[in-house]
Amino acid sequence: EPEVTQTPSHQVTQMGQEVILRCVPISNHLYFYWYRQILGQKVEFLVSFYNNEISEKSEIFDDQFSVERPDGSNFTLKIRSTKLEDSAMYFCASRLGQASYEQYFGPGTRLTVT
C-alpha cells in the first residue's frame, strides 16, 4: 500500500542552523501539508501546498519557514535559523485531490534543537 515517507526520522541541530525536512508524498496526490507536534501538545497545522504554491499557512509559519516541491516526488520544509522552540515532531501529509478528503500522514521527523 502506498505511504508517505519522511527523512530523516530524527534530526539534531544547533540553534541558528538551517534544517531541511524531507517528505515523499503518495505519488498521485496533489495536496501536501506540514504539521508539527510539540511534545505533549496538540498536532498543529503549519502549511498547505497545492499547484506549486502555498494554499494556506498558520501564524506559526513565519519568514523562517519555507516549503518547496523541487521535483515531482519530494516536498520539503526548510527552517532557516532554528530556535529551541522549533523542537517538535514534524509530520508531512498528502491528499489525493478534490474528490478525496482523507489526509495520509507520514511517520514524522523528530527535530531536536540544542
- Compare residues 70 and 101 and give the one whose CB is closer to other proteins: 101
* Residue that the C-alpha cell 509530520 belongs to: 91
Does position 35 interact with other proteins (CB under 8 A)? The reply is yes
* Bridge partner list, 90: 36, 109
Q: Is the CB of residue 23 less than 8 Å from the CB of residue 76? A: yes
> In angstroms, what is the minimal distance from the CB of 56 to other proteins?
6
Among 13, 24, 50, 69, binds other proteins (CB under 8 A): 50
Among 36, 79, 104, 113, binds other proteins (CB under 8 A): 104
Does position 75 interact with other proteins (CB under 8 A)? The reply is no
Does position 91 interact with other proteins (CB under 8 A)? The reply is yes
Q: Is the CB of residue 79 less than 8 Å from the CB of residue 53? A: no
Does position 90 interact with other proteins (CB under 8 A)? The reply is no
- Measured in whole angstroms, the distance separating CA 12 from the mean position of its chain's CA atoms is 16
Among 11, 26, 44, 69, binds other proteins (CB under 8 A): 44
Q: Report d(CA 90, CA 98) in Å as an integer.
A: 25
